[in-house]
Structure 1
Amino acid sequence: MKKLLIILHDLSAGGAEKMMTRLAGALVDAGNDVTLLMLTGGGINAAHLDPRVKKIELRSPRTSRAVPALARFLRDNRFDAQLAALTHVNVVAIAAAMLSGTLARLHVSERNAFSHDKYVNPDFMVRLAYLVAPFLYRVIPNPVICVSRGVAQDLVDTTIARRQDVTIADNPVLDNDFREKAPGLPSHAWLLEKSSPVIVAVGRLAPQKGFDTLISAFAALPDRSARLIIFGEGALRARLFDQARALGVADRFDLPGYTNDPMAEVAAADCFVLSSRFEGSPNALVEALSTGTPVVSTRCPHGPQDILIGGVVAPLVAVDDPRALTKAIDQQLSRPRELHRQARIDAAARFMNASAVKTYLAALLGSPSP
């Protein structure tokens, strides 16, 4: 049994937080003693944390101010491996590991396309972390764990990081028995009692997700009875509603907020769309594939091309091309829902907990076994 630590800022509703929650449970299943430490604390994903995982909250007022407390914790509690996630957390973890003498056991991970993600958060300390991080990645003893080949290559192509400074581990997106599990009941009325085709998307209401392009594509669909639901929270809510009203589709469009069971909503839909401008390894796309529901995705950097095998499993369209997105969605809605269903499920299987945790254990411990 190995003693492992995962370091995050909190357990909010983001994809990285959700994946680290799942990874913690999967590492316990693999026979390890796992602690998940939050630099601040709280968050909606805390409710989904496996009870076998020890939870620590430093309650720092800001992530950037957590270095002393984290250094003390690392000095007092020795782990076989320490894993930090997200760039600004990585920088804090590196500083704390240096102060505590545990840098040799620290691993950091990048969850998104670095060259795009560094422009998302305007906070000065976060921007500073993105500026400093590549220099730290060049000198720390362990390679940066990236969630996809694209994320790894982007880090090498756009920063001073070298190929030997990165490695790859898949996200643990799905339960090992996902094929046998029946989907839960959807919460949305349009999915509970369908009277027309329903398109679903899931993600933060932020520019990265390209939901403005999706709404434009939806408004141009030939089927004027089709409906669009986007599950998620974010700053663009009012703007997206305004766009739907301007395009005359507000009565067939809804933003119901965060959903506790996105796979239940997607499983009941007629098509799932990933309209992102960039990603790391889109977990929502993997979850959608696992339900067998038809999907459409942009060919965004990075992840969809790998997950969808270059468009063999499902259509890939150019980023910010509403006409191409309209055509792809219309084609999916026009075909039998069961067409290529098994191929979609099989493509998702790579991201089962048991498979993904082996890649993490290999990266953390140098061996696939715990």
Structure 2
Amino acid sequence: MKKLLIILHDLGAGGAEKMMTRLAGALVDAGNDVTLLMLTGGGINAAGLDPRVKQVELHSGRSANAVPALAQFLRHNRFDAQLAALTHVNVVAIAAAALSGTLSRLHVSERNAFSHDKYVNPSLRVRLAYWVAPLLYRLIPNPVICVSRGVAEDLVQTTLARRRDVTIADNPVLDNDFRERLLPAPEHHWLRVKTMPVIVAVGRLAHQKGFDTLIDAFARLPQRTVRLIIFGDGTLRAQLLDQARALGVADRVDLPGYTPDPMAQVAAADCFVLSSRFEGSPNALVEALATGTPVIATRCPHGPQDILDDGAVAPLVAVDDPAALAQAISDQLSATSDTRRQTRIDAAARFMNARAVKTYLNALLGSAPP
């Protein structure tokens, strides 16, 4: 049994937090003693954390302020491997590991396209972290764990990081028995009692996710008896609703907020759309594939092409092209038969917990269970 530590800011509603929660449970299933440490604490994904995972909260007001407390924790609690996630947390973890003499056991991970993600958060401290992180990635002894080949290539091509400074591990998105799992009934009334086709999207209401392009595409559909539901929270909610009103589709668009079980919603839909401008390895796309529901995604950097086998599994359209997206959605809604359902489900199987945890154990320990 290995002692493993995962370091996060908190367990908020982001994709990285959800995946680290799932990874912690999968590592326990693989026979490891796992601790999840939060620099601050709390968050909606805490409810999904396996009870066998130990939790530690440092209650730091800011991530950067957690360095002394984290260094002390690392000195007094020796782990076989330590994994940090998200760029600003990586920088904090590197500093704390250096101070505690545990740098040889620290691994950091990048969850998104670095060249795009560094512009998202305007905070000066976060911007500074993105500036210094690539230099640190050259100096630390272990390669950066990236969630997709595209994320790894982006880090190498746009920063000081070298190819030997990166490695790849898949996200643990799906339960091992996902094929047999009976999904609960959908929460949304448009999906519980369907009177017309429904398109579903899932993600933070942020510029990255391209929901403004999706609403524009939705308004262009020749099919006028179709509804769109976008599940997720974020700062752009009012702006997106204003856009829907301006385009005359507000009565057929709903933004109900966060859903704890997106697969149940997508499984009841007629089509899932990923309209992002950039991604790392979009978990919502994998979950949608696992339900068998038809999906459409943008050819954004860097995850969808890999997951969808460059369009062999499901259609890919250009980023920020509402006309092309509308055409792809219309084609899907007009299709008289669906011959790719099993192909979509098979493509999702790569991201099962048992498979993904092996890639992480190889990265963290240089070995994985048989």
Distance 1:336 1:369 in 2: 45
Please state whether the residue corresponding to 1:79 is helix, strand or coil: coil
What does 1:179-194 align with in structure 2 at a 5 Å threshold? 179-194=179-194
Matched, 1:333 2:333: yes
Confirm whether residue 26 of structure 1 aligns to residue 26 of structure 2: yes
CA contact 1:270–1:337 (8 Å) conserved in 2: no
Instruction: Find the aligned partners of 1:208 and 1:305 in 2 and give their Cα distance.
Output: 17
> What is the CA-CA distance between 1:125 and the residue it aligns to?
0.5
Aligned mates of 2:101, 2:206 — CA distance in 1? 39
Partner residue in 1 for 2:237: 237
Q: CA distance change for structure 1 residues 292 and 49 in 2, over 3 Å: closer, same or farther? A: same
- 1:338 CA drift (Å): 3.9
Aligned to 1:301: 301
Q: In structure 2, the residue corresponding to 1:66 is in which secondary structure?
A: helix
Matched, 1:162 2:162: yes
Contact 1:201 1:230 in 2 (8 A): yes
CA distance in 2, matches of 1:182, 1:207: 34
Q: Following the alignment from structure 1 to structure 2, what is the Cα–Cα distance between the partners of residues 62 and 3?
A: 27
- 1:334 positional shift: 1.2
Q: Partners in 2 of 1:338 and 1:55 — Cα distance?
A: 45
* CA offset digits 1:339-359 (Å, max 9, x no partner): 310000000000000000000
Which runs of at least 4 in structure 1 moved beyond 3 Å after TM superposition? none
Aligned to 1:312: 312
Q: Distance in 2 between matches of 1:327 and 1:133?
A: 41
1:267-307, CA deviations, whole angstroms, 9 ceiling, x for partnerless residues? 00000000000000000000000000000000000110000
In structure 1, give the amino acid aligned to 2:274.
L
For structure 2, the residue ranges without an aligned partner over 5 or more in a row are none
2:81 is the counterpart of 1:85: no
Q: Distance in 2 between matches of 1:233 and 1:313?
A: 29
Q: Are 2:153 and 1:153 aligned? A: yes
Secondary structure at 2:350 match in 1:
helix
Distance 2:295 2:339 in 1: 11
2:203 aligned partner? 203
- Counterpart-to-counterpart distance in 1, 2:197 and 2:229: 11
What secondary structure is seen at the aligned counterpart in 2 of 1:183? coil
Distance 1:162 1:269 in 2: 43
- Quote the offset at 1:183 in angstroms: 1.5
Once residues 184 and 118 of structure 1 are traced to their aligned partners in structure 2, the CA distance between those partners, rounded to angstroms, is 37
Q: Tell me the residue number matched to 2:41.
A: 41
Q: Percent identity?
A: 81
Please give the alpha-carbon distance, in whole angstroms, between the structure 1 residues aligned to 2:35 and 2:185: 32
| Residue matched to 1:266 | 266
**RMSD of the alignment, in Å?**
0.7
Q: Which residue of 1 is the match for residue 277 of structure 2?
A: 277
One-letter amino acid matched to 2:185 = L
> How far does residue 369 in structure 1 lie from its aligned partner after superposition?
2.4
Q: Which TM-score applies when normalising by structure 2?
A: 0.99
Shift of 1:175: 0.2
CA distance in structure 1 between the aligned counterparts of 2:231 and 2:298, rounded to whole angstroms = 18
1:106 corresponding residue in structure 2: 106
